[in-house]
Amino acid sequence: MNAAAFAMDPTRSGYVPSKRRGDEQPVRSQLDMARGRLFAVMILFLLGFMVMIGRTVELGMRENARPRSFAGQIEVPPVKVGRADIRDRNGEIMATNLRTSSLFADATQIRDASAASHDLVKILPQLSLADVESKLASGKKFVWLHRKLTPRQKWQVNALGNPAFRFEEEEERVYPHGRLASHIMGYVDVDGRGLGGVEHFFEDRLSDPDRHKDALKLSIDMRVQYALADELETARRVHSAIGAAGLVFDVTTGEVVALVSLPDYDPNDIRGVSADQLFNRVTQGVYELGSTFKTFTFASALDQGIVSLDDGYDATKPLVVGRFRIRDDHPKSRYLTVPEIFAFSSNIGTAQMALDVGTDGQRDFLEKLGMLRPSTVELTEVGAPMYPAPQQWKKISTMTISYGHGIAVSPLQLAVGTAAIVNGGRLIPATLVADSDGYQNATRVISEKTSHTMNMLLRMVVKKGTAGRADAVGYRVGGKTGTAEKPANGRYNRKALISSFMGVFPMDDPRYVVFALLDEPKGTKETYGFASGGWTAAPVVRNVVLRTAPLLGVAPEGEDEGLYQQVAMKINDKKGH
Amino acid sequence: MRRAFNIVAAVIALTSGAAVLQLKLTVQAKQDELNVLARQIHDDRDALRVLEAEWAYLTSPASLQERSVRFLALMPPSADQIITDPRIIPFRPKGEFAEADPGVMLERKRLPKRPAGDGQPHGEETSGLDVISDTVAGGGR
């Protein structure tokens, strides 16, 4: 009651209106009403707290309940990179961006420059002691010491405990495979912009911030790439060639599985790399590739029904056309059947066949095969083919082009063309990207029947002709050798050769084209001084096939001899003339 | 009675307030823990990139070949070592038994020459290298 009295005392409570009215009754009922309201509010609050308690207890008791997943609510800060990765067809990393640290020093904080530089050079032996010491003694506030330290080196420098050494975080493009596949990858500049290869071609896609997370997947298989590079490097050394090139090409999808150009470079460090090293001999270099071109002459003649396997040409003596003389590298000096002309690589026979096809027929066919326009592969370094202008494409041009002289194309174009000949006659553009659907808009260049005949002829070159050294036992390799003389000062130099071999396997159901080219190989004792394609490039293809066929899923099998009987009977490969 | 009610209400309000505060602090601690974990996941992913690159570097075909040549007695398979049909695996020739395979190239005396026609056409070639996989290869053919 005390409290109530206290509240009712108007002098104390300052409840002015009640005093004015001087009426006890309304004040009381008002007070009651206020108290009642207060009570109601309290009940409400109490209820609120009860609910809160109830809910808290309920939450606390629900430990056994199924834990709710917060996966969607956890926000993991994304790993930010400046450029998307590049991977091979099996997901192997070919190029990635890593954070590295670059070391700089605040020389004003150095107390003992000589001791500090000694410590530092111990960790970074590539630095010169005198250089570091002069930098540290310079008293400048900021001197670069070394860029791109490995995490281990950074840790060691930190362990020195010298406050003058500081780091700046940078991002670096790293190519873990180094030189391997350098011409495919290309390289980037200091700011990470692509300057060559796919790095340049896909610059927009690789540097697109929205697509940094998904890697660019190439059609390259690093294992096959290595096998090809290893074999080519060996052959280049053995034959002291100035360069080499090779590729493995999937004839059914148009995917480039391996692409090697030697000499190559390390994309991780492009300082001091020569133009010759940067030059991509497979896509950029155009060469007169020699007899490998006969494949196209034969395909067009057979497809148009101009010759059949039963025909033949006289190859007893060199052809003389104007001031030119067409001779054979492997002269048989007799009448040769069509399969023999192909197997023994007779220029004389092929030139006569080309005349029967005609200049227009030849040009149309090469046009159809994509020999007269640059390849559409996803590289910037693509060379344009060289060939005579229409008015200069005369009879003699037709004859020389039939065996691969007087026209210069890139090895990639040749591989794409050959693939179209062996895969049933569909021309599929080359691609470096995995799972691309370019093969769906293939164009037909020859009939399936002609393609089948060509496969038999190609296999015969290996079984009985000039490319015996390409025969990888069990893998039914076929192909065509090519030995071209390099033009120098307006004439051909018989000593400087472009020796190549265009191999296909397995011949009963072609899957891959394997091409090898050696630039100016020299003969060795093992090759009896020969430097032609059959002696130098064919063994490379054989070794590559032996090493990679199991990786590419081609099983070795016994061969169905009956398949080639029709052609084999027409080739007389007895020694002596 | 009202007084009692007041006291009870105050106590309830205080305890429930304290309990909720406690709950809030716990949740905050959990949230901190979560943030630390998220940060850790991020750092791990970052480290993963480095490790992946290192893995690619260390397992590049060139270094694998170099190590294989140095430490293993493995040779590239020849076509006749690959069978496509598992039903035609040949039996081990009689009198042959597999020794324990040490798995590495060891210096060892040349194996005694086997009688001809024991189903090991390349016996001479492989034993020229003194490889331990001699018997393994013999069993496989």
Highest mean pLDDT among A314-318, A500-504, A521-525: A500-504
DSSP class per residue in A532-562: SHHHHHHHHHHHHHHHHHHHHT-------GG
| Residue in A with minimal Cα distance to B15 | A53
Confidence of residue A541 (pLDDT cuts 50, 70, 90): very high
What residue of B is the nearest CA neighbor of A76? B38
**pLDDT tens digits, one per residue of A366-418:** 999 989 999 989 998 899 999 998 888 888 889 989 998 889 999 999 999 99
Q: Cβ of B56 and A92 within 8 Å?
A: yes
Confidence of residue A67 (pLDDT cuts 50, 70, 90): low
Residue A226 scores a pLDDT above 90: yes
Q: Residues 517-546, chain A: which have Cβ within 8 Å of B? A: 546
Q: How far is A361 from chain B (nearest CA, A)?
A: 43
Closest residue in chain A to residue B51, using alpha carbons only = A98
The CATH 3.90.1310.10 portion of chain A extends over 98-174
Q: Residues of A with CB below 8 A from B2's CB?
A: 39
Contact status of A178 with chain B (Cβ, < 8 Å)? yes
Structure tokens at A311: 């025909």
Q: What is the predicted pLDDT for the residue at B121?
A: 41
Q: Decide if pLDDT at B140 tops 60.
A: no
Q: Which of A18-27, A40-49, A280-289, A318-327 has the lowest mean pLDDT?
A: A18-27
A391 Cα distance to chain centroid: 39
The pLDDT value given to residue B133 = 38
- Mean pLDDT, range B118-124, rounded to an integer: 41
What residues are paired with A144 via a beta bridge? A104
Residue B6 sits at the chain A interface (C-beta within 8 Å): yes
User: Once rounded to an integer, what is the mean pLDDT over residues B125-140?
Assistant: 38
CB contact under 8 A, B34 and A98: no
pLDDT over 70, % of chain A: 93
Which among A52, A223, A473 has CB closest to B61? A223
| The predicted structure's pLDDT at residue A299 | 93
Is the CB of A318 inside 8 Å of chain B's CB atoms? no
CB contact under 8 A, B42 and A52: no
pLDDT at residue number A25: 64
pLDDT at residue A283, rounded to an integer: 92
Pairing verdict, β A86-87 and A216-217:
parallel
> What pLDDT is recorded for position A23?
55
pLDDT of A490 above 80:
no
Asked if residue A506 has a cis previous peptide bond (ω within 30° of 0), the answer is yes
Quick check: B19 pLDDT over 50?
Answer: yes
Q: In the predicted model, is pLDDT for residue A13 greater than 60?
A: no
Average of per-residue pLDDT across B110-133 = 42
Q: In Å, how far are A40, A45, B12 from A48, measured between CA atoms?
A: 12, 5, 11
Contacts of A90 in chain B (CB under 8 A): none
The fold adopted by the segment(s) A225-568 is Beta-lactamase (3.40.710)
CB-based contact, B63 to chain A, within 8 Å: no
B78 in contact with chain A, both atoms CB, cutoff 8 A: yes
Beta bridge partners of A518: A244, A499
Min distance A298 CA to chain B CA atoms (Å): 32
Say how many CA atoms lie within 13 Å of A303 toward its Cβ: 23
Are B49 and A79 a contacting pair at CB < 8 A?
Answer: yes
* Residue B138 pLDDT greater than 60, yes or no: no
Residue in chain A nearest B40 by alpha carbon: A76
Looking at beta carbons, which residues of chain B come within 8 Å of A42?
6, 9
| Contact call for A77 and B80, based on CB within 8 A | no
Give me the pLDDT at residue B123, please: 38
Predicted confidence at residue B17, as pLDDT, reads 85
Can you tell me the mean pLDDT for A299-316?
89
Q: Number of A:B CB contacts under 8 A?
A: 106
The pLDDT-based confidence of B100 (bands split at 50, 70, 90) is: low
Using the Cβ of A320 and the Cβ atoms of chain B, whether some distance falls under 8 Å is answered with no
Q: Is the dihedral of CA A321, A323, A328, A332 positive or negative?
A: positive
pLDDT at B139 over 70: no
Of A42, A46, A550, the CB nearest to B82: A550
Which residue from A minimizes the CA distance to B24?
A56
The candidate with the shortest Cα–Cα distance to A513, out of A218, A251, A221, is: A251
CATH number of A98-174: 3.90.1310.10
Cβ(A491)–Cβ(A324) below 8 Å: no
* Confidence tier at A261 by pLDDT (50, 70, 90): very high
CATH 3.40.710.10 domain span(s) along chain A? 225-568
Q: Exactly one of A117, A182, A291, A451 is catalytic; name it.
A: A291
Catalytic (active site) residue A410: no
Per-residue pLDDT, A421: 93
**Residues B71, B105: contact at Cβ < 8 Å?**
yes
